[in-house]
Chain A
Amino acid sequence: QVQLVQSGAELKEPGASVKVSCQASGHTFTFHFIHWVRQAPGQGLEYMATINPGGSFVGYAPKFQGRVTLTEDRSTKTIYMELSSLISEDTGVYYCALEIAATKKFNFWGQGTLVTVSS
């Protein structure tokens, strides 16, 4: 049973950074892709970035290039998404999602992490 478990809610001030984790279980960590998608309050889904755990691929949507960094801890099967220079418009729920074997679809999703940016 594939599971993605994300870290808890965060409250950050404008200008700060936030780091959200996504721990995978129930599948082979490598040879797949982990994506990050966010959803502002009452708004739609927005693709942010992708990492291939254990591989060499990391890709960012042009909008987030330079502000988002994805890293991994292979020993704990955990992916980290760090977003810097936070503004109020970054408030929303951040999801990680698993793509199995480069099949161009988001098979499984984490439960989401609420990030609130406010002074």
Chain B
Amino acid sequence: QSALTQPRSVSGSLGQSVTISCTGTSSDVGGYNYVSWYQQHPNTAPKLMIFDVSDRPSGVPDRFSGSKSGYTASLTISGLQAEDEADYYCCSYAGSYSHYVFGTGTKVTVL
């Protein structure tokens, strides 16, 4: 099972919006609505930001949103804040053989 493909980095100014793509196959992103997104600051554990493609856990700001079309899922951060600067990983359920697959990770820089 190959990792899902994400851009290595994206950047935006304070208050702007950025979108991170996550491309997989029919065996993972395209086959299930179980895409989640995780935020990871340096030297800390990942944190769940989006689940089931577009749902937010309680406590996650509504400037974080998710969507999916075909084999590509996306995470959009609207109204960028300084604390949003971090690495972001998508993850998809991939069935009973491979179980889960993560994306390659995207570094978000706030200019």
Residue ranges of B at the interface with A (Cβ–Cβ < 8 Å): 1, 3, 32, 34, 36, 38, 40, 45-48, 51-52, 57, 89, 91, 93, 96-105
Question: A105's contact among B34, B40, B98, B102, by CB below 8 Å, is which?
Answer: B34
Q: How far is the CB of A4 from chain B (nearest CB, A)?
A: 9
Distance in angstroms from A1 CB to nearest chain B CB is 13
A45, B102: Cα distance in complex, Å = 6
Enumerate chain A interface residues (CB-CB to B < 8 A).
35, 37, 44-47, 50, 59, 61-62, 95, 97, 103-107, 109-112
Contact A111 B45 (CB under 8 A): yes
Distance, CA A12 to CA B86, complexed state (A): 31
Among A105, A109, A110, A111, contact of B36 (Cβ-Cβ < 8 Å): A105
Given A44-B3, A105-B36, A109-B45, 9 more pairs with CB closer than 8 A: A45-B38, A46-B3, A47-B91, A50-B99, A61-B1, A61-B98, A105-B51, A105-B91, A106-B38
* B102 adjacent to A46 (CB under 8 Å): yes
The contact of B48 among A95, A106, A110, A112, by CB within 8 Å, is A106
**Which chain B residue has the least Cβ–Cβ distance from A60?**
B99
B57 to chain A, nearest CB (A): 7
Q: How far is the CA of A110 from the CA of B45 in the complex (A)?
A: 7
Contact between A106 and B46, CB atoms less than 8 A apart: yes
Q: Chain B residues near A97 (CB, 8 Å)?
A: 46
CB distance from B95 to the nearest CB of A (A): 11
A106 touches B36 (CB 8 A): yes
Closest A residue to B3 using CB positions: A44
Q: What are 15 A-to-B residue pairs whose CB atoms are below 8 Å?
A: A45-B38, A45-B46, A45-B91, A45-B102, A46-B102, A47-B99, A47-B101, A50-B100, A61-B99, A104-B32, A105-B34, A105-B91, A106-B38, A107-B48, A109-B46
Q: Are B1 and A62 in contact (CB under 8 A)?
A: yes
Cβ distance A113 to chain B, nearest Cβ, rounded Å: 11
The smallest beta-carbon distance between A13 and chain B, in angstroms, is: 26
CB distance from B54 to the nearest CB of A (A): 12
